[in-house]
Amino acid sequence: MITEPLIAHKPERRTATIHLVVPPMDMPKYMDPAIQEVLQVLAEQGLKPMGPLFSYHHRRPAETFEFEIGFAVNGEVKPQGRVKPSTLPASRVVSSLYTGPYEGLGGAWGELERWVRAQGHVETGRFWEAYLSNPEETPDPADYRTELNWVLD
């Protein structure tokens, strides 16, 4: 389900994001409009995404997901509407690759969590997903690739 987890150091990256707090079942309803809004603001400000779309979660999901959705960018984004400048913080992470439909991400995270706990790492509650496949270019959800990053410290 996931590739062999690896510990990696991720550098800080400048980002343009929208902060969302939504119930899990409503994520599809809010994600695409937020993605389109970020892309529109980047285009209006002459900026470009520098890497894949990501969602950075500030805490473990409970009744709601609290996360930022956006892109690393090639310059300083000015706040516009819901789009704000932010950063993916420098951190040490356990990283793994999941291939499959987005509906399987919960199981993939569970698999990664078991590995993290078996290695004796502590929970920070922070994690992010980088969506390496564009559904418009990858029509079969079984082929979607998502990088999972569990923040260690």
3-class DSSP assignment, residue 48: coil
Helices and strands, number each (H, E), in the chain: 2, 8
Encode burial over 81-93: b for 16+ CB neighbours within 10 A, e otherwise: eebbbbebeebeb
The whole-number pLDDT of residue 44 equals: 98
Report residue 120's pLDDT band, with 50, 70 and 90 as the boundaries. Answer: very high
What's the chain's length in residues?
153
| pLDDT tens for each residue of 53-78 | 999 998 877 788 899 999 999 999 99
- Give the tens place of pLDDT for each residue, 8-67: 999 999 999 999 999 988 988 999 999 999 999 999 999 999 999 999 998 877 788 899
Structural domains of the chain in order of their starting residue, each with its CATH number:
6-151 (3.20.80.10)
